[in-house]
Each structure stands twice: as C-alpha cells, then as structure tokens.
C-alpha cells in the first residue's frame, strides 16, 4: 500500500471499529467475533504507529488507555450538576405529584419514569459528533476532567455513529461497574489480600479516579445516559430527547416510560422494585421527571435540586442468615470493632458474609449467641447491618458472644474509657493497624492529600520496614520503593506526591496529625486561632477551650497528644522536612475584620468558590455564617438558583441580597 492508501485504510478501519463497538456494547448485536475485532484493531494500531500525522484522540485505539494522564484538571461545569431530592414512600411520591400539579396551575403534564442508577454521575460534551470532554460531578459546580479515562468505556461513543445531533450538546449519565465485573474484581482482590470494594459504586469511583487509564480500561465500566442539555435540543420532551440520543448512538435505559398519572408511577415503582434484581448494574431507586422542558422551566429549582424531578429510593433489603463467628478489627485510634462473620447470603446484588456489630453494648442489646439466625439489612450505605435476631431458632448449646479482653493484633489488654462505648487497645505506638491507620489518615485527601499512595502501598511499606510513622514517609526514595527495579516510574510518582504535600497548608497538617477527636473543621479553627504549631503545642486547657467547638475532652486529648515523646519527635521531624507548621503569610494577611459582627446566610450555587470556601472566607474576615434567615441576618450571599422561599423571606424581613461578585469585591477592598 502507498501512503495515500494507508491513510484511507486508517480512516476506514476507524469507521468500522467504531461501528463494531457500537453494535457490541450499545446494541448488544455484534456482527463479527472477538478475534476478527482484535485483528482489525491490530491492523489499525500498526498503521497508526506508521502514520503519526494521522493521530486522532478519538480513534478506537485510544480506548486502551495510557499511563500518561497527569493529575486531573478541575473544570467549571457549564450548567451546575445538581442532585435530586429523595423520597422513600408512596405518600412522598403522591405529595410530589400534587406539588407539580399545583406548580403548573392544573395544566396537564406527563412524567418520565426511569431507573435511578447507582454509580457516579458524569457529564459528556460532544462537539460536531465527537466526544471532547468528560467531567465528574465534583462539588456540582466544578468537577474533574476525566476524559482520558472515560474514553476507555466502550459503550460511550467517541464519534457518534448516528446522525441528526446538534453541533454541540452535553449529555449526562451514570458510570457503573456491572455486578459481574465487580464480583470478579473483588475475588481477585481477596486472593491478593487487598482491601475489598464495598459496592460497585465505590469500585467504579475508585477506578475512574485512577491516574492510569489502562487500569480503567481493564475494569470494563459501563455507562447509561439520562439527561440531555444544550441550546438546540430536538424536542420539548425529555423522553423524546433521550430517544433521539439513543438514535445518535448513546446507551439509554430500555426501561424508561412516559406516564400520565400517579397510579402509573406507582405501578412502575412496584414493577422495578423486584425486577431490578435482574439488571446487570446496581440501581437504588426510580427517578421521576416532568417530561416537558417548558414545564420543567416553569417549575424551576430550589437551591439544591429541581422541583420538576424527584428520586424514589427503594427500601433496604433484609435477609436472615447464621452467625458463625465474631472477629475484631482495630482502627487507627485503637478502637476495637466487632465484626459478625455469617453464612454467605445474597442481599441486594452482592454476597454478604460480614456485618459490623459496632460495639459491646450493641452485641448485648441483641443478646447475640454464636449460631444465632440474624437479620441482615443493606440500606443506602450498603455496609450491611444486623438489625435483629430470631431467638426461636437459637441452637440449644449456643454460647453468648464474649467480647475479647486483649487486642487481637498485639495482645495488649483492652481498656474502656469512661463515657465511651468502644474498647480500645492502648498500645498506640506498637500496634500495627493503629500505626498503619494513622499513616492512611495522614495521606488522605482531606489531610495531606498524597494520592500517589494508598492503603495497599502503606501496608507494603510498613511490612518492608520503610515506614513506621508518618515522618518516615519523607525519608523514602525511589530506590527504596523500587526494590526489584521494575517500577521506577510509579516510584518516582510516589516520591513526587510526597514532596508535593510540603505545600499543604498548616490547617490540614493539624488535621493530618490525627489527634484524637480533632476533625477537619476543628483543625482549621485551631490553626487559625494559634497560627503556628508552637503556640498550639504549648496551649493550656483554658486557651484551647476558647476555640469554637473545643470542649474539655478534646482539649485534654490535644494536650495529651503534645505531651507524648514519640508525637513530639514526629512533629519535629515533620517540621525539619519542611511541612507547613504555621499559617502562610497570605492566610494571615487574608484575615481581616471586614465582616466583623455580621451574620451571613449562604444560598444557591456559586461559580468562583465552593460553599465551604465561602464559609471559610466569611470566618477569615471575622463574620459568622448562619443557617437560616432572621431579622438579625446582615445579608444573604446569593449564588444562582437561590430558593424562592428564602428570597421571599429576605424581602419580607428587608435583608439585603449580595451577589457572589459583589461579595468578592467587598472582601478585596
């Protein structure tokens, strides 16, 4: 073949492979077998390697992923990604239906009923039929650009096979890990003694956030799309728009129905309540949407969610199974949690073998015996719970569960502090899960955010003796990590990640230390109050209690932390390694008393900062963030879609409404 022929062949192969993908993953109607597919794919890969001038980010070969994705870029959503209000009963559904009817002043309306997929939401942008960007929900206003990873999901078209689509549009949906893939993955992890994923949603989320898109490609994620946005949509009906999207090549649920009465809605719910168990992916409810976009606009939004849509959540599923054994887990703080090990039982799509028993009192309250038949429930949070015991089935010889007295990990005698429900292992310096737990807490996203490390790597480094405490992290180098010499690139990434954490602000360093009872918010308040680590280390009981949210128990815990020799040595080493041990000049300068004495309500969705950031800015400038509007409210910091009831109340009480831009100016002056 000459160059021109080869270029034509590339174009043709791309077209064919896109088509085969679509037939296989969206239509479920392949026309060639896997071997033929691989053959064509290899041919294309070879040709593309010879023709770099024809590189195309949307070529079918790009679905295999690469390890070149840096960190994710943050992107501002063109339309914020809101969530839906939840309801749990027939009554709630009827009330929502009536409120829509009222909102539309009696005008007729249709409702589109859909499955509520339990994965993670994604927003896809298509320009001229080509996927240009895929962004996660994030905080609803900004999300992570995960385009490279999403391209590996075979059912998401890179180039639309159909026609008639607008030049530019967004389509939103849910990324899911099918049950079959989830179960296989967890089996593999169990065999490798890696921590298991609690449910397919977590597994999909962990996968999508992987920085190596080859990992994503290997996990076989799927996606269903359910919301089309843009200025030139084909129809006024949501259902009709999704049907159009189906014809352009998207995977849209087959179960979607348009109905005209609340009775039909309830029939749909009842049908899927059982039928959903036969679906290949996890669902946790039904979504109801007013079909006409015109009517949707008339109904509008509250601060958090649309009034034209609602989610009905299925009830938790319950099963009965036998309690075989109680084992005990030791957490980062030394708290010992009893775990029920049961005969495996199928519950809400997964096999359940373990459930948390919380603490000794919980076990007593059920008078649990080994061999008991227990009721297990899986609610929205998916970690199974024991909710009851069938005493009638208790074997005659059954023995009551006796809480252990010694730590299962290090053998220390357990202690129970006054007023607490948990037993603790007091050997914090020598008990492995406590040590590893503290390191895991230290690297967590909200602490030092060292995302190049994870629980598996921490475990490995601990076992290899590379790290025994958080300060040791700053001593490891590429050579040490890369023991057998096979992982230079990832070792370098880990070391870079650790070094990057030197920039993490002081308030998060305080949180990362893992002082008992000191959560993220208190850590921030402590950092702002004491301004540097020395002042915090030397603070007495009274001074600590001056900080909002710090009571006696927490103050004592902080003092105890800084009186412990080992902790002092860790803090000193961290300081020498260059961690931020004081507020930055910028942070100190940012504090002012411009808002002193002001009570401010935050409402709506913002473009420049998240709500939490605005809370912080208010605090930094001496103001107070309050939850509800009253005569004492100084003003409302209002973003988009502020709820009308708040608006009405503000007007009635004569409270000023300040826009995001006005507020930012106010802070700058």
What is the C-alpha to C-alpha distance for residues 368 and 630, in angstroms, rounded to an integer?
Answer: 50
Which is nearest to 201 in space by CA: 77, 381, 452? 381
Structure tokens at 319: 């099963």
Per CB under 6 A, the segment of 99-107, 115-123, 211-219, 542-550 that binds ligand IVH is 115-123
Q: Does 229 bind ligand IVH (CB under 6 A)?
A: no
Choice from 69, 87, 121, 291 touching ligand IVH (CB under 6 A): 121
Residue 84 interacting with ligand IVH (CB under 6 A): yes
Question: Which region, judged by CB under 6 A, interacts with ligand IVH, from 112-120, 467-475, 563-571, 572-580?
Answer: 112-120
Exposed, middle or buried, 51 (CB in 10 Å: 0-12/13-18/19+)?
middle
Stretch of residues binding ligand IVH (CB under 6 A), selected from 94-102, 109-117, 370-378, 500-508: 109-117
The answer to whether the beta carbons of residues 153 and 223 sit under 8 Å apart is yes
Question: Near ligand IVH by CB under 6 A, which window of 62-70, 76-84, 238-246, 271-279?
Answer: 76-84
C-alpha span between 433 and 437 (Å, rounded):
6
Residue of minimal CB distance from ligand IVH? 121
Per-residue CA distances from 618 to 504, 548, 653, 667 (Å): 21, 15, 22, 9
Smallest gap from Cβ 244 to ligand IVH, in A, equals: 17
Q: What residues act catalytically?
A: 116
The answer to whether 626 and 599 are in contact (CB under 8 A) is: yes
For ligand IVH, the closer of residues 136 and 567 by Cβ is 136
Residue 79 is a binding residue for ligand IVH (CB under 6 A):
no
E strands present in 379-524: 385-390, 423-424
Nearer to ligand IVH, 308 or 461 (CB): 308
Nearest approach, Cβ of 179 to ligand IVH (angstroms)?
16
Between 82 and 439, name the residue whose CB sits nearer to ligand IVH: 82
433 lies in the binding site for ligand IVH (CB under 6 A): no
* Residue nearer to ligand IVH on the CB measure, 84 or 233: 84
Cα(87)–Cα(84) distance, rounded to whole angstroms?
10
83 binds ligand IVH (CB under 6 A): yes
**Which positions from 233 through 292 interact with ligand IVH, judged by CB under 6 A?**
287
Give residues 561-620 in contact with ligand IVH (rule: CB under 6 A): none
- Nearest Cα to Cα of residue 355 among 324, 319, 326, 384: 384
**∠454-459-463 over CA atoms, to 5°?**
150
Least distance from ligand IVH to the Cβ atom of residue 311, Å: 5
Distance in angstroms (rounded) separating the CA atoms of residues 101 and 93: 12
Q: In the chain, what is the greatest distance between 2 CA atoms, to the nearest angstrom?
A: 84
- Window of 304-312, 329-337, 472-480, 649-657 that interacts with ligand IVH by CB under 6 A: 304-312
Helices 455-463 and 432-443 cross at an angle (nearest 10°) of 140
> What is the pattern of x (binds ligand IVH, CB under 6 A) and - over residues 503-542?
----------------------------------------
- Residue with structure tokens 């129905």? 257
Instruction: Give least dist CB 199 to ligand IVH, A.
Output: 15
Q: Considering beta carbons, is residue 41 or 287 the nearer one to ligand IVH?
A: 287
Residue 82 interacting with ligand IVH (CB under 6 A): yes
Measure the CA–CA gap between 64 and 416, rounded to whole angstroms. 53
Query: Distance between CA 517 and CA 128 in Å, rounded?
Result: 53
Q: Which is nearer to ligand IVH, 22 or 226 (CB)?
A: 226
Quote the DSSP letter at residue 22. I
Question: Which of the 8 DSSP states describes residue 624?
Answer: E
In sequence order, the 6+-apart residues with CB closer than 8 A to the CB of 4 are: none
Q: What are the backbone dihedrals phi and psi of residue 600, each rounded to the nearest 5 degrees, phi first?
A: -125, 135
Residue 302 and residue 309 in contact, taking contact as beta carbons nearer than 8 Å:
no
Least distance between ligand IVH and beta carbon 308 (Å): 8
Minimum separation from the CB atom of position 114 to ligand IVH (A): 4
- Find out whether 340 and 369 touch, Cβ atoms under 8 Å: no
Query: Residue count at the site for ligand IVH (CB under 6 A)?
Result: 14
Give the residue with the Cβ less far from ligand IVH, 258 or 468.
258
Return the ∠ at Cα 299 (arms to 298 and 304), rounded to 5°.
135
The contact mask relative to ligand IVH for 305-344 (x = CB under 6 A, - = no) is -x--x-x---------------------------------
Touching ligand IVH, residues 147-176 (CB under 6 A): 174
227 or 268, CB closer to ligand IVH? 227
Minimal distance, residue 272 CB to ligand IVH, in Å = 12
Interface region with ligand IVH, contact rule CB under 6 A, candidates 110-118, 586-594, 620-628, 631-639? 110-118
DSSP state of 316: P
Minimum distance from residue 520 beta carbon to ligand IVH (Å): 24
For residue 410, what are the contacts with CB-CB under 8 A and spacing of at least 6?
Answer: 425, 427, 430, 431, 432
Applying CB under 6 A, which part among 49-57, 82-90, 520-528, 624-632 lies near ligand IVH? 82-90
Q: How far apart are CA 67 and CA 55, in angstroms?
A: 18
Q: How far is the CB of 100 from ligand IVH (least distance, A)?
A: 15
* Closest distance of CB 287 from ligand IVH, Å: 4
Judged by CB under 6 A, the residue of 14, 116, 611, 615 near ligand IVH is 116
CA distances from residue 16 to 13, 51, 156, 159 in whole angstroms, order as listed: 5, 19, 16, 12
State yes or no: residue 200 binds ligand IVH (CB under 6 A).
no
Rounded to whole angstroms, the Cα distance separating 209 from 100 reads 38
Residue (of 326, 333, 382) closest to 358 by Cα position = 326
Binding residues (CB under 6 A) for ligand IVH: these are 82-84, 114, 116-117, 121, 174, 226-227, 287, 306, 309, 311
């Amino acid at each position: 073949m000459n160059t021109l022929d080869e270029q034509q062949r590339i174009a043709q192969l791309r077209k064919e492979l896109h088509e085969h993908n679509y037939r296989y993953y969206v239509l479920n109607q392949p026309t060639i077998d896997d071997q033929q597919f691989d053959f064509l794919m290899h041919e294309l890969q070879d040709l593309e390697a010879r023709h770099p001038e024809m590189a195309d980010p949307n070529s079918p070969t790009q679905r295999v992923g690469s390890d070149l994705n840096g960190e994710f870029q943050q992107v501002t959503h063109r339309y914020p990604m809101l969530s839906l209000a939840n309801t749990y009963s027939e009554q709630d559904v009827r009330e929502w239906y009536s409120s829509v009817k009222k909102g539309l002043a009696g005008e007729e309306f249709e409702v589109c009923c859909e499955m509520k997929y339990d994965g993670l939401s994604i927003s896809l942008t298509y320009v001229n039929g080509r996927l240009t960007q895929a962004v996660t929900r994030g905080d609803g206003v900004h999300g992570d650009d995960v385009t490279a990873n999403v391209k590996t999901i075979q059912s998401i078209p890179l180039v639309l096979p159909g026609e008639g689509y607008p030049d530019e549009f967004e389509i939103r949906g849910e990324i899911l890990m099918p049950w079959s893939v989830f179960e296989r993955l967890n089996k593999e992890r169990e065999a490798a003694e890696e921590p298991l994923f609690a449910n397919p949603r977590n597994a999909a989320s962990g996968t999508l956030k992987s920085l190596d898109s080859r990992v994503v490609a290997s996990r076989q994620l799927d996606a269903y799309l359910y919301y089309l946005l843009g200025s030139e949509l084909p129809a006024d009906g949501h259902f009709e728009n999704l049907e159009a999207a189906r014809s352009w090549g998207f995977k849209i649920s087959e179960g979607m129905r348009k109905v005209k009465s609340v009775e039909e809605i309830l029939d749909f719910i009842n049908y899927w309540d059982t039928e959903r168990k036969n679906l290949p992916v996890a669902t946790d409810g039904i979504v109801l949407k007013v079909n006409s976009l015109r009517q949707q606009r008339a109904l509008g939004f509250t601060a958090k969610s649309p009034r034209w849509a609602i989610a009905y959540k299925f009830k938790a599923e319950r099963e009965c199974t036998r309690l075989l054994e109680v084992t005990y887990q030791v957490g980062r703080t030394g708290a010992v949690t009893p775990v029920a090990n049961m005969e495996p039982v199928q519950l809400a799509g997964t096999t359940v073998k373990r459930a948390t028993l919380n603490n000794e009192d919980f076990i007593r309250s059920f008078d649990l015996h080994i061999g008991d038949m227990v009721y297990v429930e899986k609610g929205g949070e998916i970690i199974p719970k024991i909710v009851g015991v069938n005493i009638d089935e208790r074997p005659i010889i059954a023995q009551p569960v006796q809480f252990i007295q010694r730590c299962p990990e290090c053998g220390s005698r357990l202690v129970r502090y006054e007023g607490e429900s948990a037993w603790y292992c007091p050997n914090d310096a020598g008990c492995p899960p406590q040590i590893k737990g503290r390191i895991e807490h230290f690297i967590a996203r909200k602490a030092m955010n060292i995302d190049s490390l994870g629980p598996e790597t921490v475990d490995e480094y601990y076992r290899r003796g590379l790290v025994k405490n958080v300060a040791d992290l700053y001593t490891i180098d590429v050579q040490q990590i890369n023991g057998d010499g096979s992982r230079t690139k990832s070792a370098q990434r880990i070391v870079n990640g650790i070094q990057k954490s030197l920039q993490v602000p002081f308030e998060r360093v305080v949180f990362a230390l893992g002082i008992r009872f000191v959560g993220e918010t208190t850590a921030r308040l402590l950092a702002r109050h004491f301004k540097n680590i020395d002042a915090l280390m030397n603070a007495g009981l009274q001074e600590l209690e001056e900080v909002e949210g710090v009571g006696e128990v927490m103050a004592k815990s902080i003092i105890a932390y800084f009186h412990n020799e080992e902790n002092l040595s860790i803090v000193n080493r961290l300081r020498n390694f260059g961690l931020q041990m004081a507020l930055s000049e910028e942070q100190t300068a940012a504090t002012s008393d411009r808002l002193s004495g002001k009570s401010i309500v935050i409402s709506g969705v913002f473009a420049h900062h998240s709500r939490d950031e605005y809370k912080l800015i208010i605090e930094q400038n001496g103001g107070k963030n309050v939850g509800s509007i009253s005569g004492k409210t100084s003003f409302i910091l209002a973003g988009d879609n502020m709820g009308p009831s708040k608006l009405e109340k503000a007007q009635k009480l004569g409270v000023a409404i300040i826009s995001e831009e006005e507020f930012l100016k106010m802070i700058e002056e």
